[in-house]
Amino acid sequence: MSYCVHCGVELDDWEKKCPLCQTPVIDPWQDKNGNPPPSLLSEQPERTVNKRLLVLLIGLLLLIPLITVVIVNLATTHTLTWALYVLGSEICVWTVFVLPIDRSGKLPYPYIAIDSVVVALLLFMIWLVNDEVDWFLPLALPIVLLSGVVVSLLFLIWRSRGTLKIRKTGWSVCLIACFVLALDLTITHYMRSAFGLTWSWYAAFPLLVIGVVLLAVSFSKRACDWLRKNLFL
């Protein structure tokens, strides 16, 4: 039985100092072998970021420059002109980069579809405001849709389970090669009103070769082992 010489309170036998005043317990007759009860763990909650709130907050922050440019634009030209670019760009930035923060395990494909639509709408707005030559329908829209499809396919490849990484890489490289070819076709058709391939060969051919080699290797266990042995980091 120990007492604090400062407070006068009785303490547990194993206490080395008084919990009230931190005075050390000096008791020559103290039972040094007395076992204190097992220490209990302190619990800590898993602290997580409130993603929905974060998305909302970033959205509110983006509103500040938007409102500023709208007021300035209206004050100077009495109509909305260049502020529309800021409006469209901010919606694009929020949709493409901020909205997926609150994805929390959901599938990415609806987000890719929304992103494609928003980017297409931004380009449509720019085309409407400028009232220039017809570039939206034959050029911008196909490229945006093509990009959306390719990104979706890349996600599909990399989310598939049980497939070797080398095979996923092979399919991805082949897909990028096809994208480059399709891009060239679209641009050439817009520029010359005829289908044909020009610059894309230089990029697509090596990519296709690399992709096919990776796919071939991925189907051979021996080749895979050889690569693993010789190229590990």
Partner 1 sequence: MRRSRARSGNDTPAVDWLRLDNAAKIYPPARSRYWSPMFRLSAELSEDVDREILKTALVHTLARLPSFSCRLRKGFFWYYLERLEGAPDVLPDVNNPMSYFNVKENKNFLFRVRCSGSKLAVEFFHVVTDGSGGTTFLLTLIGEYVRLRYGVTVPRDKHVLSCDDPPKAEEYEDSFLKYARKETVSRGERAAYQPHGAPMAPFDVSYICGAVPTEPLHRAAKEHDASITEFVTALLIQIVARQQAAERSRAKRKKPVKVSVPVNLRRFYPTKTLRNFSSYVNPGIETRLGEHSFDEILVQVKSFLKSQITEKQLNARFSENVATERIHVLRATPLFIKDPLLKMFYNMQGDRYVSMTFSNLGAVKAPEELQRYVKQLDFTLGPAKKKRCLCTCASFAGMTRFAFTRTFEGADVEREFFSALVKLGIPVKIESNRR
| CA atoms of 56 and 88, how far apart (whole Å) | 18
Contacting partner 1 (CB under 8 A), which of 33, 35, 39, 79? 39
**Per-residue binding letters, 82-121, with partner 1 (x by CB under 8 A):** ----------------------------------------
* Range in contact with partner 1 (rule: CB under 8 A) among 33-41, 77-85, 117-125, 178-186: 33-41
Interaction of residue 20 with partner 1, rule CB under 8 A: yes
The three-point CA angle 118-52-148 to 5° equals: 25
- How distant, in Å, are the alpha carbons of 62, 114, 131, 139, 187 from that of 54? 12, 20, 38, 36, 39
Contacting partner 1 (CB under 8 A), which of 50, 77, 160, 220? 50
Contacting partner 1 (CB under 8 A), which of 26, 35, 43, 230? 43
Between 43 and 134, whose beta carbon lies closer to partner 1?
Answer: 43
Interaction of residue 7 with partner 1, rule CB under 8 A: yes
Interaction of residue 12 with partner 1, rule CB under 8 A: yes
Min separation Cβ 94 and partner 1, Å: 22
Contacting partner 1 (CB under 8 A), which of 32, 33, 35, 40? 40
Min separation Cβ 59 and partner 1, Å: 18
Retrieve residue 222's tokens.
């021996």
* Range in contact with partner 1 (rule: CB under 8 A) among 4-12, 65-73, 119-127, 149-157: 4-12
Contacting partner 1 (CB under 8 A), which of 26, 28, 45, 196? 45
Interaction of residue 177 with partner 1, rule CB under 8 A: no
Contacting partner 1 (CB under 8 A), which of 5, 9, 164, 209? 9
Which residues make up the interface to partner 1 (CB under 8 A)? 4, 7-12, 18-21, 36-45, 47, 50
